[in-house]
Amino acid sequence: MDYTEDDGTYSIQTFDLTKRFTKKKHRGIFGFLRKERKQRKQQSESSRVTVALDHINIKIRSGELFGLLGPNGAGKTTLVKCLSTILIPDKGTAVVNGFDIRKQTSMVRASLGLVIGGERTLYWKLTARDNLMYFASLYKMPRNQAKERVEELLEKMQLSDRADERLEDYSTGMRQKIAIARSLLHDPSILLLDEPTLGLDPTFSKQIRGQIRELSDKHGKTILLTTHYMDEADQLCDRVAFINDGKVVAVDDPDSLKATVKETELVEITCFNPPLDVERHLKSLCPGVDIITLVHGDETKGNPSKIKIIGGNAEEHISTAIDALRKKNVRISSLNVGVPTLEDVFIKLTGAKLAEGEGRG
Amino acid sequence: MNKNRVKGHELGEVTCPTGFNWTNLKAELRAIWESSIKAWKIELAYPVSFLRQSVSPLIILLPFLIYGMVLVGGRYSENLERMVGTGDVVTFIFTGYVIMGFIGTAVWAMGFSIRGEQWFGTLESIFVTPTSRLSLVLGMALHSTVHQSIGTAVEFAIIYAVFGLGLKIGGILPALGIFVLMMLALYGFGILVSALSLVLKEGWIVAEGLHSIMMILSPVVYPLVVLPTVAQQASAIFPTAPALVGMRVFLIENYQPEVIGNIFLHLLALDAAWILFGILVFHLTDIYVRKKGSLEKY
């Protein structure tokens, strides 16, 4: 493959991007003394290799808000880390803003702003202003320009009045706003946002989504947003790629993706205390249904679990399913016959679930 | 895609200076300065720890001096005088101790600056900026050097007031020249240790080993002549041995170096060797950890 192929309209292109990790097997304190049989050693070595990215080929247009949707461990963060030069891929490469991530690392780093998971990516012992001023110097901004930009971003994030407080006194949401402000300091053309709303309350999530939308619409930024929140991707993204087990399984705009399961019916039963084998049990009772899946809710916090029945004749099986669940002492709180969501598309394509639980903003 | 969307940058456009030019060099120098200031701010956010770090060097020095004086039965040692021309135990040990502090700067403070960022969780954030990794390490080196220099000045004032030091004032300037050359080589050494601490998560074991070796092979509290010939020869690969000999020549009255050679040339050669070796290992380590995916792991 010609890795230099670039027609000028894509801000990010990946070419067969592949990354594997070898996990160390912990064999106990004196494990090194134990001899492993050759065959078993070979077997365990191959089972220790995780393919985080498997020949990923995606193209993101300039100015596009592109969502990367997948469950935890699907490879989203690995892709972001490869694109931002934190990781070197094993095979293939990517071109970011016209620069090769393997050969032109400085230019790639200068081209993008990164918001990566984890609260500790800023200095908690420094104030918000000091953090931003320091990172402005690392983005090589002249001092006067940096000062103006920092004030502007603090204003934008509605944190001007708390700018001189240490981050240790901030809430998670406020720290995330500062992390976003940091990624915008040098006005990059590309933003990589890795789960930017993870762990935030509904108010902050909404604010941050609004800011992402604004960055795309009013500032023309190319944004790669990774998330496992289907509604976030649906709400924000121009196009979405589904990633599962390191492979991209589909790329399209949310409406087109949803149209692929439109003909099929979706029955969603919201309930508490479903048995673990409920999927298998209902499948045996409902022939002809494509998928039956259980999404566990955090029931201790009052968030119910959801059983989704997807398939051409799903509606016909409602009474059978309800009876079967009642017999298993499942408390049913609601039943919906609805329109498929992005999550349903994902489930249909991969058989896997995006997220367990709904207890978030 | 929203058709009313504002058009952003042109493809290939970057707002940060890059490449070999004055603007970029200035930006890198500013990053070094700001990294040093950042390290100061974080250090001062822990006032008790700062106080401990300020006082402990003096507390460590005193037993050396007292031990030395008790062993020789006073401040002057005839044996020392026979070996190096001066019998002033306090001045001899103090000049060595100053250098010992800067060995610590290179091996511990500088070597572990990157490890510190790993502990904070900020390593990936700073490594994803276009600033050179070496500038980040040098920024932290600047902080620890200034920190150590202030500490040394305070120690000097106290030891001078309490014990008095037999120093030649006129020798301070050339001694500083030697000191700067030594520090350059120690920076190379520090870059090497910081690279090792990225790969070996228990890097302090390496640092402790290297620190001990350098301490043994440097004439900090004893002259080099007391070491076996092999050890004396091995000491030539560390900048501290020639630097200490050179600085004592300029600073201590009647000091006669046990090893005579062109100290300036020796140090220049060590500067080039340690800096190049440190940068090479750092570069290779950076590639290794990014391939392995262990940058943020601690």
Residue of B nearest to A8 (CA): B11
Q: Which of A253, A186, A198 is nearest to B130 (CA)?
A: A186
Q: Strands of A291-295's sheet, edge to edge?
A: A291-295, A305-311, A265-272, A331-338
Coil, strand or helix: which one is B257?
coil
Q: How far apart are CA B105 and CA B144, in angstroms?
A: 6
Determine whether B72 is exposed, middle or buried from the number of CB atoms within 10 Å of its CB (0-12, 13-18, 19+): middle
- State the ipTM, two decimals: 0.88
Q: What is the pLDDT at residue B19?
A: 81
Coil, strand or helix: which one is A67?
strand
Of B124, B129, B290, the CB nearest to A138: B129
DSSP B185-216: HHHHHHHHHHHHHHH-TTHHHHHHHHHHHHHH
Q: How far apart are CA A335 and CA B266, in angstroms?
A: 83
Q: What is the pLDDT at residue A63?
A: 92
What angle (nearest 5°) sits at the alpha carbon of residue A106, between those of residues B22 and A57?
A: 155
Number of neighbours of residue A288 by Cβ within 10 angstroms:
10
Per residue in B106-153, pLDDT (tens digit) is: 888 877 788 888 888 899 999 999 999 999 999 989 999 999 999 889
Of B5, B16, B293, the CB nearest to A216: B5
Question: What is the residue extent of each domain of chain A?
Answer: 10-252, 258-350
Burial profile A256-278: b = 16 or more Cβ within 10 angstroms, e = fewer:
ebbeebeebbbbbbbbeebeeeb
pLDDT band at B81 (very low <50, low <70, confident <90, very high): confident
Residue of B nearest to A88 (CA): B291
Q: Mean per-residue pLDDT for B61-74?
A: 87
Give me A177's structure tokens.
């706003």
- The model's pTM is 0.84
The parts of chain A modelled with pLDDT lower than 50 are 1-4, 356-361
- B230: which residues sit within 8 A by CB, 6+ positions away? none
Q: Which of A140, A166, A167, A222 is best to mutate for the B interface (most B CBs within 10 A)?
A: A140
Number of neighbours of residue A142 by Cβ within 10 angstroms:
14
Q: Are A166 and A126 in contact (CB under 8 A)?
A: yes
Q: Of chain A residues 204-223, which have a CB less than 8 A from chain B?
A: 216-222
Q: Using CA atoms of A59, A61, A62, A64 in order, give the dihedral in degrees to the nearest 10.
A: -110
DSSP code for A85: T
- Residue type for A355, please? A
Work out the minimum CA distance from B68 to partner chain A, whole angstroms: 42
Q: Is B222 left (phi over 0), alpha (psi -120 to 50) or beta?
A: beta
Per residue in A192-231, pLDDT (tens digit) is: 999 998 888 888 889 899 999 999 999 999 999 998 888 8
Q: What is the pLDDT at residue A356?
A: 46
Q: What is the pLDDT at residue A359?
A: 35
Q: Does domain A258-350 have CATH number 3.30.70.260?
A: yes
Of B18, B30, B31, the CB nearest to A110: B18
Per residue in B224-240, pLDDT (tens digit) is: 889 999 999 999 999 99
Per residue in B158-174, pLDDT (tens digit) is: 988 988 888 888 888 99
Q: Are A266 and A337 in contact (CB under 8 A)?
A: yes
Please report, for residues B233, B262, B277, the alpha-carbon distance to residue B230 in angstroms, rounded to integers and kept in the order given: 5, 20, 23
Q: Of chain A residues 299-318, which have a CB less than 8 A from chain B?
A: none
3-state helix, strand, coil in chain A (%, to 5): 40, 25, 35
User: What average pLDDT does chain B have?
Assistant: 87
Q: Which of A108, A188, A133, A222 is nearest to B15 (CA)?
A: A188
Q: Does A88 touch chain B (CB under 8 A)?
A: yes
Q: Which of A25, A15, A92, A97 is nearest to A57 (CA)?
A: A15
- A305: which residues sit within 8 A by CB, 6+ positions away? A270, A271, A272, A273, A274, A294, A295, A296, A297, A299
Q: Is the pLDDT of residue B185 over 90?
A: yes
Residue of A nearest to B40 (CA): A126
Q: Does A351 touch chain B (CB under 8 A)?
A: no
The reply to whether A10-252 and A258-350 are identical in fold is no
Q: Are A280 and A318 in contact (CB under 8 A)?
A: no
What angle (nearest 5°) sits at the alpha carbon of residue B29, between those of residues A183 and A119?
A: 30
CATH H-level, domain A10-252: superfamily: P-loop containing nucleotide triphosphate hydrolases (3.40.50.300)
Q: Which of A195, A244, A197 is nearest to A53 (CA)?
A: A244
Q: What is the CA radius of gyration of chain A?
A: 23
How many CA atoms does the CB half-sphere of A284 hold within 13 Å? 5
